[in-house]
């Protein structure tokens, strides 16, 4: 079973925080787009079945359909999720600050 543990931004390496959403592809919003970070356990094995289970859990538990991979941790994978504050879209353009 896939589990998600929220990770506070203050505990992350500043380099991790540099890759952020900068605009919404759907409504072209370009203001601050909040991101949340989660440790995903167990780590993905890379199989299609594992990925489908992960996406289903992401949607069921966090209400998101998309994510950004950040890092591999010894106990799991660190991901980020974000949604446009104006239109709610997860179709975002990411870049480095």
Residue 19, Cβ neighbours under 10 Å: how many? Answer: 15
CA–CA gap between residue 66 and residue 68 (Å, rounded)? 7
pTM (two decimals): 0.89
CB 76 within 8 A of CB 43: yes
CB 87 within 8 A of CB 26: yes
CB 75 within 8 A of CB 41: yes
CA–CA gap between residue 43 and residue 4 (Å, rounded)? 11
Residue 68, Cβ neighbours under 10 Å: how many? Answer: 16
Q: What is the pLDDT along the chain (97 residues), one digit of tens a residue?
A: 899 999 999 988 888 888 999 999 999 999 999 999 999 988 878 889 988 999 999 999 999 999 998 776 666 789 999 999 999 999 999 998 7
């Amino acid at each position: 079973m896939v589990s998600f543990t929220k990770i506070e931004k203050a505990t992350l390496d500043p380099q991790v925080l540099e890759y952020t959403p900068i605009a919404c592809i759907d409504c072209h919003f370009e203001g601050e787009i909040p991101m949340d970070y989660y440790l995903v356990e167990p780590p993905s094995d890379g199989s299609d079945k594992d990925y489908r289970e992960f996406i289903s859990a992401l949607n069921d538990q966090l209400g998101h359909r998309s994510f950004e991979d950040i890092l591999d941790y010894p106990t799991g994978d660190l991901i980020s999720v974000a949604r446009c504050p104006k239109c709610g879209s997860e179709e975002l353009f990411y870049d480095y600050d």
